[in-house]
């Protein structure tokens, strides 16, 4: 998850790299599906690695979909689609964003999902989740992959 608008080019590169690494692991990348921001960056990276991408789009207009999304899902439900994004994800990875990204993080935490925040400081409101190890901060994309593997290995029935 991450911003639809990217203020720093380094954040686009972070997104591209994390998408690439997710696909290299053989995992499916699921994001907000749009042709902008972190969504475009992560999908681009995943496709560069030959991965499968799913985009959960807020509207009903296919032209909003990133060209790097293999399976666009048009919801027509606006921001309510954020719930679908987090509910469908095994682990939520959050990159820099604004209120939409924060809403996805909050939803994920509220339903008990693990959230890995990459270069996105969330402040005092989220300290409780950090202490409970439901919210984990990472410094680089490689650390994110290691953390995801650790989380999945702890889940019953997962083999990495």
pLDDT digits (tens, 9 = 90+) for 122-140: 988 899 999 999 999 999 9
Domain coordinates in residue numbering, the chain = 9-152
Q: What is the pLDDT of residue 145?
A: 95
Topology of the domain covering 9-152: Rossmann fold (3.40.50)
Q: Are 146 and 160 in contact (CB under 8 A)?
A: no
Render pLDDT for 55-81 as a digit per residue (tens, 0 to 9). Answer: 999 999 999 999 999 999 999 999 899
Could you say which DSSP state residue 80 is in? G
Using 70 as the pLDDT threshold, list the residues of the chain that sit under it.
7-8, 156-160
Q: What is the pLDDT of residue 7?
A: 65
Q: What is the pLDDT of residue 33?
A: 94
Stated pTM of the model: 0.90
Q: Which residues share a beta bridge with 116?
A: 93, 136
Closest CA to 47 of 19, 6, 89, 10: 19
Q: Are 85 and 32 in contact (CB under 8 A)?
A: yes
């Amino acid at each position: 998850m991450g911003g639809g608008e990217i203020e720093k080019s380094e954040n686009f590169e972070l997104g591209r790299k994390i998408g690439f690494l997710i696909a290299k692991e053989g995992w499916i990348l699921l994001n907000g599906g749009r042709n902008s921001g972190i969504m475009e960056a992560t999908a681009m990276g995943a496709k560069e690695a030959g991965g499968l991408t799913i985009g959960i789009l807020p509207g009903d207009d296919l032209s909003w979909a990133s060209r790097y999304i293999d399976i666009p899902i048009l919801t027509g439900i606006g921001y309510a689609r954020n719930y679908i994004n987090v509910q469908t994800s095994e682990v939520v990875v959050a990159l820099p964003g604004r209120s939409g990204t924060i809403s996805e993080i909050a939803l994920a935490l509220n339903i008990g999902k693990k959230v890995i925040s990459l270069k996105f400081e969330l402040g005092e409101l989220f300290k409780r989740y950090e202490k409970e190890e439901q919210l984990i901060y990472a410094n680089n994309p490689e650390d994110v992959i290691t953390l995801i593997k650790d989380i999945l290995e702890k889940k019953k029935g997962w083999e990495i």
